[in-house]
Amino acid sequence: MRVGQVDAGVIPITDFQLALSVILVFITGLITAVLRLGLLKSLFWGTVRTFVQLTLIGYALNFIFNFNNLALIITIVVFMCGVASKTAVNQTLSVGKFPLVLGFVSLLASTFLVGTIVVALIIAPKPWYTARIVIPIFGMILGNSMNGISLAMDRLVSEVRSRVAEVESLLSFGATPWEAVRDCAKVALRAGMTPTINSLMVVGLVSLPGMMTGQILGGADPQQAVRYQIVVMLMITAAVAIGCLLLVMMYYKKVFTLDDALAASLLDTDGRKK
């Protein structure tokens, strides 16, 4: 096939064309070198990992799509949830025990609930657990929900920490732990959900979303690509909202001791995981 020739709507990228994309990395490297940003090593290894990881995942997806086994698909999604929850929790302010477990439960529940509705009822492939549909859909949900719960967890702890006197005052007047931190929880939920809601406002105006762009480049009808993207945007919004709500409702208890007093770690200057 000639370079640039279209096959069923898809323009294949040859090895040579893929190698040409490294020019873009050289441009980035030149900027970091001239400005002495100290990012050359990270840029190099990031580029290498991008090529290696995505190449390997390409082979893995070929096998998974051809095998199309429900148990394997569930295992992969659970593994993805584990990686996403660890990533979300590691860079957040955290107190109490088991923040990783709570993040994992929040992501797993919201992902399977929303993902199952979208795959089984809206897209409805035959069979419904078709790997080619399930894994990308669940992956998009996880990627966005991960950011949402990370923001919500971080904001909940920082908000309670900044309102220690207010929370302790409410507790001293007989408020329950939830009543004492309810306003903090609302702020945390807004922090987790706002970026996703904002993206609904500008989708299609500021940029074309990734899934829609991919389908159009793959030769899909633009109207069908738009419909898929609408479903994706709404499912992400719902998953982020559910994930953040579950996280906050479980995690707020961790800012208190068993005696309903604020955790001592809230008085630290930095509760980030080391």
Count CB-CB contacts under 10 A for residue 239. 28
- Are both 145 and 227 inside the same structural domain? yes
The answer to whether residue 195 sits within a structural domain is yes
Same domain, 149 and 213: yes
3-state secondary structure of 256: strand
Q: Does residue 188 sit in the same domain as residue 237? A: yes
Mutual orientation of helices 40-67 and 70-90 as an angle, nearest 10°? 160
**Of 48, 67, 86, at which residue does a domain stop?**
67
Domain that holds residue 107: 70-267
- The pLDDT value recorded for residue 80 is 93
C-alpha distance from residue 37 to each of 22, 27, 28, 223 (Å): 20, 14, 11, 44
Number of domains in the chain: 2
Cβ contacts of 96 within 8 Å, gap of 6 or more: 251, 253, 254, 255, 263, 265
Residues 60 and 180 in one domain: no
Each residue's pLDDT, cut to its tens digit, for the chain (274 residues) gives: 444 444 456 678 899 999 999 999 999 999 999 998 999 999 999 999 999 999 999 999 999 999 889 999 999 999 999 999 988 888 676 655 668 888 999 999 999 999 999 999 999 999 889 999 999 999 999 999 999 999 998 899 888 888 888 888 888 888 888 888 899 999 999 999 999 999 998 887 776 777 788 888 777 888 998 999 999 999 999 999 999 999 999 988 887 766 667 766 665 544 444 3
In a domain, 273, yes or no: no
Looking at the structure, tell me whether residues 57 and 109 fall in a common domain. no
CA dist., res. 137 & res. 134, Å (int): 5
Q: Do the domain assignments include residue 272? A: no
Please name which of 177, 147, 171, 172 lies closest in space to residue 250, comparing C-alpha atoms. Answer: 177
Tokens encoding 89: 């929790």
209 is a domain residue: yes
Same domain flag for 109 and 34: no
Asked if residue 38 and residue 85 are part of one domain, the reply reads: no
3-state class (DSSP) for residue 196: helix
Residue 63 sits in the same domain as residue 74: no
CA distances from 59 to 7, 52, 74, 200 (A): 21, 11, 19, 34
Residue type, 194: T
DSSP character string of 154-169: HHHHHHHHHTHHHHHH
Domain end call among 67, 95, 117: 67
**Backbone phi, psi, residue 205, to 5°:** -100, -45
Are 86 and 108 part of one and the same domain?
yes
Burial of 111 (0-12, 13-18, 19+ CB in 10 A): buried
Place of tokens 């309903």: 260
Q: Which residues on adjacent β-strands are paired with residue 272?
A: 93
| Residue finishing a domain among 67, 93, 116 | 67
Residues 36 and 117 in one domain: no
pTM of the model: 0.81
Tell me: do 86 and 180 sit in the same domain.
yes
Residues 62 and 165 in one domain: no
Cα 30 from Cα 24, distance rounded (Å): 10
From the list 30, 266, 44, the residue with the least C-alpha distance to 157 is: 266
Q: Report yes or no on 274 lying in a domain.
A: no
Asked if the structure places residue 206 within a domain, the reply is yes
